[in-house]
Structure 1
Amino acid sequence: MHTVAVLAFDDISPFHLSVPTLVFGRVGAGGAAPYAVRVCAERPGTLRTPAGFDITVEHGLEAFETADTVVIPSWLSGEGVSAELCAALRAAHTRGARIVGLCLGAWAVAASGLVDGREITTHWAAAPDLALAYPAVLVRADTLWSDLGDVVTSAGVAAALDCCLHLVRSDLGSRAATELARALVTAPHRSGSQAQYIPVAVPDDADDDAIERAMVWARTHLGDPVDLDSWSRIALMSRRTFTRRFRERTGSSPQQWLLHQRTDRARLLLESTDETVDHIAAATGFTTAVSLRHHFHRILGTSPAAHRAQFRTPDRRCLRSAKLPP
């Protein structure tokens, strides 16, 4: 059984704490449970929360010593990270545990020194301060989550849910993650970046959103050539105005957004079908398998073949026997 240790602390948000405990605790509900979740704290006992109730935690940092995955679900802005916690994180990592920092939990991960010279993600609003506090760490504010293999970090609360589902998908396969997401009534995979959630201009009339109309049209024509002039005409705008308005709305250029949509569609087809890479490339607008491989690796950090092998025949943690409720 894969053991997950989740750290709690005084004034932790119960919502942040519930994300990893719900996701990993829900897998196998009604059947064989592949994960054993254990909540721990630096100082076990009664912990305050800002939600009007306290929580009681029985386990201390010794839970890290046997955990396969260690999760820091959040952190308090401006709070330091104790030498004891940093040492426990480093020891768990050295032993081979996967370290996960969700949302502001990336602060504790950065403080441990495990990601010096490496790239992590945190909530977009906290990214500048985190980068300033730990200049040896490369902080990304434009991704929902980042998986380095041994260290995984995510953006805010909703992205933390995405990240935990990603870990389930890595451990148990795409079908397990999809079924769990269905039980939780959430998307099994959400593409895009934090730029979608950074405050941007909102159209006055939501029922007549030209950019949204153009986005919907593009999603239904991913397999077709989509040139910027034709696309801007769907929105009844000039090419220049369309490009500016699109960036204001999404935080990226139309071409970048379209490329990510095509990559995400290819990812889904690789996970859910047996179609060849050539066929998937044609169906998603990449035209050739060479182009698909190039962009897939650039955006997702792996090849289409490796991604399909990972999610169709998962054996990373030997958790093949997981069962999910219908």
Structure 2
Amino acid sequence: MPSSQISLDRAYLTAIWLETLFYGINLLLFFSYLFIVRYKRRISLSKIIVGVAVMMFLFSTVHVSLGFYRLIEGFIVLKDPIVFFSDVSIPANVAKVTIHTVNSILGDSIMVWRCYNVWGQSWLPSILPILLIIASAVCGFGQAVIFAEARTTHSAFGSNLERWNGSLFSLSLATNVVVTSLIASRIWWVSRQNSSLHDSSFKYRRVLLLVIESGAIYSSALVIEITLYFLNNNAFYIIYDPIAQLTAIVPTMIIVMTSLDLTSAALDSEEQRTTRHRTIESRPHFAAAGRGTDTFSSIVSSFPDPEDRVREQATDIYLGLNQKESAKVAI
């Protein structure tokens, strides 16, 4: 087993500091969400989704509280943090692992809900992610049981825990990669259908929305977590604890964007309106004929170019179709 590059006590102290920082973001985002639901909501949301958001925040609060409790116990009460943090069977640690699993399941479920709506409320693309979530739940709760019974195990990298941890992390990553790919591909395909009408000024905003909506940030954190774990590096803890907050931050951010109608579908509609407005403004306007001008020429010049009328009709039809297509991916 390769030696860790950072001691366990330093890794845990850094992890709690980062988790606290992430919890502050989570706290601000959650209360912003409550304000939006109460006063600024533009579209109706399922009560189940609201309930899930509240549960995820409560679990995140308990998780960071247990982290502080372990911090005090290890550094102040027992004054031997390395031995204390190495004991994976301590009830507070088992509770943290269980809460982490539950929050991961809830967060992944929100991503699948997003995927379901992005794909026009079709369950077919969501079947594989749902099966992966079920497998993750089995591994997660199995991991908690093994942790509780691991009286003689003093490392999360122990051989009897590695297969459970490795399976859980890998399944969670697979779930997020699949869902991220499904959401990103759908948004990309719809955006491509409207590409001839898109203004370049919206390009970077679309990329940002794509990253947030698809959960790519969470997937990237999971990749780092898995890499450090299989390297048996204590720096794994620096990622593991903050991810407990990230599992709530990303889904809540998606719900907030949905409540404010700030998804990619809304951006596409904005681009279409902007492009249509510019198209209308760019059409030639014919001045009225002055005195002494031939009457026939004046009458002819007062009518728009037939080709311009054809282009206008085609643009209106195209915009109408794409607005319908965008509505399919709106939540």
Q: TM-score range by the shorter chain?
A: under 0.3
Q: Compare the two structures and name the one with the higher strand fraction.
A: 1
TM-score, with length taken from structure 1: 0.27
Q: Give the helix-richer structure, 1 or 2.
A: 2
TM-score, normalization by structure 2: 0.26
Bigger CA radius of gyration: 2
Query: Of the two structures, which has the highest relative contact order with CA contacts closer than 8 Å and spacing of 6 or more?
Result: 2
